[in-house]
Amino acid sequence: MSRIRKEEYTSLGDFVRKSFVRDQEIIMTRYPKLNATFLAEFTAKLEEVKTLESGLVLTEKQKNATFSLYAEATELNKELNFLKSYTDSAGLNTDIIITLKNDLARNNIEGAILKIESLRQFVMANLEALVDEGMVPTFAGTLETHRVSLAEKNAEQNVFMNQRKELTEANVVHYNALYGYISKIVNAGRLVFEDSVKKDEYSVRRVVSRMRSAKQPQAAEPALM
């Protein structure tokens, strides 16, 4: 069985349904229950899940919130390159800057927010030495502005993520039902077409691979078993 994301179920359903409609008469010689009624129920469930997914896709507002959050994290990370340079020149320890930069680079916003306050205190404690190397005197205030802004944006992002998770969990029964129809078709088709090239069209692993290859590569695809 392939490990696939729930948002891939409808695409998988479309692929499998196309093959099933073409081969239904042959499959029914071995599996008579996969009849017109079964096809109608499968099609209805497939369309139902597609409708549900319209509430699960990222809205433009969500996309903009995510972009704004990570854009600010990137902006702050660049500013910290200058601060690290000033800190090096002043002969001060740069560990707090490096760990904060690592959090920002990994989009670990929660961790970054906590470290910004520590860095602000470090800057205030070494203000004279850092300003002497080129840092603007108001940089501690800039850090506080970023801390507040990132915290607000991250809270908004978490609201969106929680809403999406709740919607997915609420609809999991429908995803499972859809996959149940798909499983019956592929299991039957794999046996009926054991000695045919059509067998690949009833292999979830192969169908999912075809689906994914048609899209742009993603960072970390779940492994196929």
Mean pLDDT, rounded, for 52-68: 76
Residue 163: the pLDDT is 77
pLDDT in tens, 108-139: 999 999 999 999 999 999 999 999 999 999 99
Residue 52: the pLDDT is 83
Residue 212 CB contacts under 8 Å (≥ 6 apart), including other chains: 218, 221
Q: Which residue has the higher pLDDT, 151 or 57?
A: 151
Mean pLDDT, rounded, for 38-63: 84
Banded pLDDT at 26 (limits 50, 70, 90)? very high
Please say if the pLDDT value at position 22 is more than 50: yes
Distance (Å, whole) CA 185 – CA 21: 10
Copy the structure tokens of residue 171. Answer: 């609809």
Mean pLDDT of the chain: 89
Residue 19 CB contacts under 8 Å (≥ 6 apart), including other chains: 189, 198, 201, 202
